[in-house]
Amino acid sequence: MMDTVLDLVRLDSHSKQEKPVAEYLVRALGELGVSVRVDDAGTKVQGNTGNVIAALPATGSGEPLLLSAHMDVVPPGMSVKPICEPDRIRSDGTTILGGDDKTGVTIILEVLRTIAERDLRHGPIEVAFTICEEIGLLGARHLDFAAIQSKEAIVLDSSQASQLVTAAPSSDHFSITVHGLEAHAGMCPENGISAVRVAAEAIAAMPLGRVDAQTTANVVVAAGPTATNVVPNLCVVRGEARSLRDDRLDEVMRSIRAAFTDAAARATITLNGEIRRAWIEEQCEREYQSFHIPADAGAVQLVMRAARRLGATVETIAIGGGSDANVFNKHGITSVNLGTGMRDIHTVNEWIDLADFYRSAEIVLECIKERAAA
């Protein structure tokens, strides 16, 4: 596992550039005699590879089980130089490490290798190593679900091996373009309508940050004119809102729209006898759908039984982040997300807790054994 994860984190794989990792996985799976293919998701998202899909036929009884992790990493993730310590692997502080989600990829490979080495009996195992998870779960969204037989999945893409994610939010991503009126900022600013000011007033009025225990919102100013001597006639604001409750998410999005609509309505001037107004354009997409898996669901109980057999404790949790599990659940595959030992993800301080990393692999392997014995 140590060798594999070090190999993987050293391979560059920003979103849409995952080909080095995909080629590594195709070779590794081929060496195990596993049926493997690369789908056309890369073409659909304009990336350099698709999802790596594998299937391990049953050697015993048991229902199919899907194992999944994603290949891409967030910037800055090029030329990663991992540093090994007795109980952890960390980044050198100049890049992320890429444990998100190359720990998950490694765990799945290790489980398949262990099954082969020990000649363990198992039910059908399906594997999906996805692309572009970090930029909107795009690989999972373009997966050919008609080719997937599993009705349950374990996604390896969370932090602690003692936690199983059984609830995650819906997420709306939006882009709002504020249109104002340009004018010379020094000679006649009163003849202009500042799109930036309208946007600023709207942002100040909208819900932001931790809206409530289940809901968050965030916004960035994405584009606009840069000349300081011109009243800006354009400002593009991008953002997202998430909630474990879809009705609450809808309320927050209505509040965001109202903040921009109201700010634009207040921004009017009369120029040469004509009333001029600010106006807005909006684009909004529900990027992924929330899921809530009950405690008695088969996938949850499978992980719990496996952990108990190992003398480990796993608790179910809800989180504020999305993963491929959101997409799988939407497509009728009951999917839970198990931690892999990754820590401080999406930062240059990222590290892998090796004890957690190994424990997660043990739990997944035990799930395979448990399912075959059921």
List residues with catalytic annotation: 72, 133
**Backbone torsions φ then ψ of 271, nearest 5 degrees:** -130, 115
Would strands 88-90 and 52-56 be described as parallel, antiparallel, or unpaired?
A: unpaired
Nearest by Cα to 249 from 278, 287, 276, 221: 287
Question: What is the CA 287 to chain-centroid distance, rounded?
Answer: 10
Q: Are 193 and 372 within 8 A, CB to CB?
A: no
H/E element holding 106?
A: helix 99-118
Give me the helices (H) in 146-245, please.
Answer: 195-205
213 Cβ partners below 8 Å, 6+ apart?
Answer: none
Provide DSSP, 146-164: GG---SEEEEEEES-TTEE
What is the Cα–Cα distance from 22 to 26, expressed in whole angstroms? 6
Contacts with 187 (C-beta within 8 Å, 6 or more apart), sequence order: none
Between CA 314 and CA 326 the distance in angstroms is 20
Residues 6 or more apart whose Cβ sits within 8 Å of residue 44: 142
Tokens 């999917």, residue?
335
The owner of tokens 């765990």 is: 107
Q: What are phi and psi of 84, to 5 degrees?
A: -95, 130
Q: Tell me the β-bridge partners of 88.
A: 85, 353
Lookup: tokens for 284? 């909004």
User: How far is residue 285's CA from residue 202's CA, in Å, rounded to a whole number?
Assistant: 20
Give, for 130, the enclosing helix (H) or strand (E). strand 125-130
